[in-house]
Chains A and B, each alone.
Chain A
Amino acid sequence: MTPTPDILRVDALSVSVRTETGLHPLVSDLSFRFAPGETLAIAGESGSGKSITSLAIMGLLPPPAVRVTSGAVILDGRELTSLPEDQMRAIRGDRIAMIFQEPMTSLNPVLTIGRQLTEAIRAHQPISRAQARAMALDALTAVRLSQPERRLGQYPHELSGGMRQRVMIAMALALKPQVLIADEPTTALDVTVQREVLDLLRDLQRDTGMAIILITHDMGVVAEMADRVIVMRAGRVVEQGDVRQIFAAPTAQYTRDLLAAVPRMRDRAATGSENASFEITEQNQIHDIRFTREHPIARLENVVVRFPLRSGLLNRTTHNVHAVEGVSLTINPGETFALVGESGCGKSTIAKALVGLVPHQGLIEVDGQKLGSLDATGRKSLTRSVQIIFQDPMAALDPRMTVGGLIAEPLVIHAIPGDHKARVADLLSRVGLQPDHADRYPHEFSGGQRQRICIARALALNPKLLIADESVSALDVSVQARVLALLGDLKTEFGIATLFISHDMAVVDTIADRVAVMFLGQIVETGNRAQVFGNPQHPYTRRLIAAVPVPDPTRTRPETVRLAGEIPSPVHPAGQAPDRVIMREVSDGHLVAQD
C-alpha cells in the first residue's frame, strides 16, 4: 500500500435494488482504497455496476428502490453512507465532485454558464456574487477554455460538446475537491476532443493533487490515465491491481477476453511488415479491381448536401449548412469502404443521401441506377440493393412489433413470395440468434442482440450494399468485436459490400479495405487501409490517428499539438460555398487534399 493516508476507502460495499421479487444485488462486496493524486479506473461493460458504484459514493442512488445494503464509504475518516442528506449535500460538490457522460444534459439549458458556475460555488461557500464570479472565471481559465470572460455570459447550446465538458470539469473543480469522480467523461466526445479532455484532466490532477475515480468502458482510456484498475463484471470485482500488471499479465479470464476484444490500431512503425504483406494481397486484388471497376456497386460524384437555414419575415434561406460538399467515391462489390471523421463532418449525411433519406445534388449511382432520377417504384426497388444499419438498434426497431414481424417487414413491403416464417428463422440463426426469438419484442434483448436483429432485417432482401452508420459505436467492446466478426463473415459469405461509417480509427483499422477521411463535408484523404494508416499524409488524418487512446500503459504517447481553436463551422451565408479541396495523388489510389 502507499505510504500516504487514504483519501477514500470503500469497504465491502453492496448496493441492491428492491423489486417485486426481492432484493437484487447491483454491486456486491466492493472494496478499494486510494490516495491523493492517484487515479483509479473502474472498468467494465454495461451492467457491471460501475456507475452505480459512483452514485453510491456520491450518495445519489435513486431512492427508494436502490440503496446501500452493507459496507461503508469512508472519505478522510468520515463514513458517508449513513450521513443524513443535508450533511451529504455539503460534501457533494465541495469534497467530492462528479462529471457525467453527457455534458449537454448535465447543464441547465436556460441558465448562462456563469450563473450555473457561481451558483454551484455559492451553494458551498458564503461569498459574494462578485467573488464567486472571480472564482468561476479562474476555473474556466484553468480548464483552458478560450475567451473565458465571454463564456460566462453564454448559454450551454452556444458551446460545442468539448467546451461543455470543460465547463462541467470547471464546475466540478471550482471548489477544489479532494476526489473527482469522472463517469465516462469522454465517451460522448470526438477522439481529438477526448484527447484534449484527458490531457486536461491529467494536468489538473498534477497541479491540484486530487484523486480521480475514472469510470469507463474504454480500455484505451484506462491504459492512458489510470494508476490502478478495478475490472468489474455484473456487480463484482473481477480483478484489481496496478495498471501495468493488469494489461501485461491479466489473471482473470474475463479481463483477458475484454482486452482481446479491444480494437487496436496495427503497430506499423515497429515492423513495417504490413506493407510487405499488403503488396501481396494487392497483387491478388488487382485482377478483382480491374474487373469490378467497371461495375461499382455505388458511385458518388461531386455529391453536395445542403440544409437551408431560414429566417426573417419572408422565411427566406439566409444561410446553408454545407453538410456534404463535393464528395466523390466509389464502392466496389464485396469491399468494406470506411468513412471516418468526427461528429458533424457529414459522414452520416452521405449514408442518408445514399438511402434517399435526404435530398442531394450531384450524382449518386447505386447498382447502375441514378438515385435522383428514380420514381417512387424505382426508389422502392432500389431499397432492395441498399440497406442501412443505424447506430442505436433500440431506436431503429419499432418497439411495438415482434422481432419476427420486424424482420419480415421488408419481405411484406416488397411482397416477396415464399414462407416468411422460415426466412425469418433462417435469418435469425444466420446472425446468431434463436429462431424462436421471433415472437419476442426488441426490449427483451440486449444491445448486441438488437443490433443483430437490425442486421437480420437488413439482410432479408439480400442487399448488395450494407451501410453501417456507427453501427457498433454504442456497443460494449466484447459485443462490438462479435458484431464486427459477423459483418466480416457476411462479407466473405455473401460478397456484400459495406460502407462502414465510424469515428473510431481503431475499429476502422481492423475491418476496412479502403478508407476515406472526412473533414467539414469534404474528403481530405482516401486510399486503401495500408496507405491511409501506414502513411497518413493529411494533418487531420494524422491528428485523428494520434488521438486514439492506445490500450498499452507502457507506451509513452508523443506530445501532440493542441488544437488552437474550435473546428470551423459548416454554415455559410446563402450564395457562398466553402472552398473545395483539390486532391493530389500520392501513390496509386492514395489521394490527399492539398493545403
Chain B
Amino acid sequence: MTSVLYDVPGPAARRRSRVWSAVGAVVVVGLVAAALARLASQGALAPEAWSPLADPDVWTFLLEGLLATLRAAALAAVLAAALGFVLAVLRRSSLSPVRWLAAAVVEVFRGLPVVLLMFLGVIALGLSIFQGVVFGLVVYNAAVIAEVLRAGIAGLPRGQGEAAEAIGMSRFQVLSVVLLPQAVRTMLPTLVSQFVVLLKDTSLGYIVGYAELLRHSRLMAEFFGSDARLPMFVVAAALYITVNFLLGRLAVHLERRGSSTGASGRSLRRRLLGGTSTAGAGAAGAER
C-alpha cells in the first residue's frame, strides 16, 4: 500500500517498520496479557463466571433486550423520518412565520441532549417509558434529519428548482417532486449514519428505565452476582457493536453506490449545463 505521506519503503524503512511493528505488537500483547492476568486474579476468567452464558434462558432474556432496543429504534426511525420531512417542508413554506417557527424548532431540539428529551417525555408529558424513549429519539432526530435535508436541497443546482417553477409547478410540487427526492438521494449516506446514531442513542433508554439491552444485561449481572457483570457487559457490547457495524456497512455501501452513479450523473449534468454542482455535501453531517 502506498501513500503520499511516505515513500515506498526501502530496506532500511522496512527494517524500521518491522521493528516498530514488533514493538507495537509486544506492547499490545503485553497490555492484553496484563489485563488478562489481572482479570484472572480477580476470578473474572473462571469458568463459573462465564457459565451463565451456557444457559439458553440467559440468551433469550438478553435477546429480548436487543429486540426492545430494535423496536424502539425502528419506530423512532420511521416517525423521525416523517417528522423530519414535514419540518423540512415547513422550513420552505411561503409564510414567513411558519418558516421561522420550523427553523426555531429545528435549532432548539438539535441543541438538546436526547436523554433530556426522553426524561421530559416521561416525567413532564406523562408518557409511558417506551413512549418517552421514542419521543426523545423522534424529536431530536427529526430536527437533525430536517437539517440534513435542508443541506441536501441547498447543495442542489439552482436550475432544478427554477426549471420546476418555470413549467408551472406549485411551491409544494417543486419541493416534493423535484427537490426532496434529489436531496434524499445525495444525503442518503448521511441519513443512514443518522439512523446508526439513533440506534446507538436507544441505549439512553437505560437511563430513564427502559428495559433495553443494557438494562437486561445489568439485570442478569445482578441476578448471577458481580462475577457475571463482565461476561454480561461483554455480550451486550458485542451485540451492540455487531448490529451497528452492519448498519454502518450499509451506509458505506450506499455511499459507494451513490458516489459512482452520482458522479456520472454530475458529470453529465455539468456537460449539459456547463455549471458546477455541489452534490454530495458529505456524509460527515451525522450528529452523534
**A in complex with B:** no
Name B's A-contacting residues (CB within 8 A).
Answer: none
Name A's B-contacting residues (CB within 8 A).
Answer: none
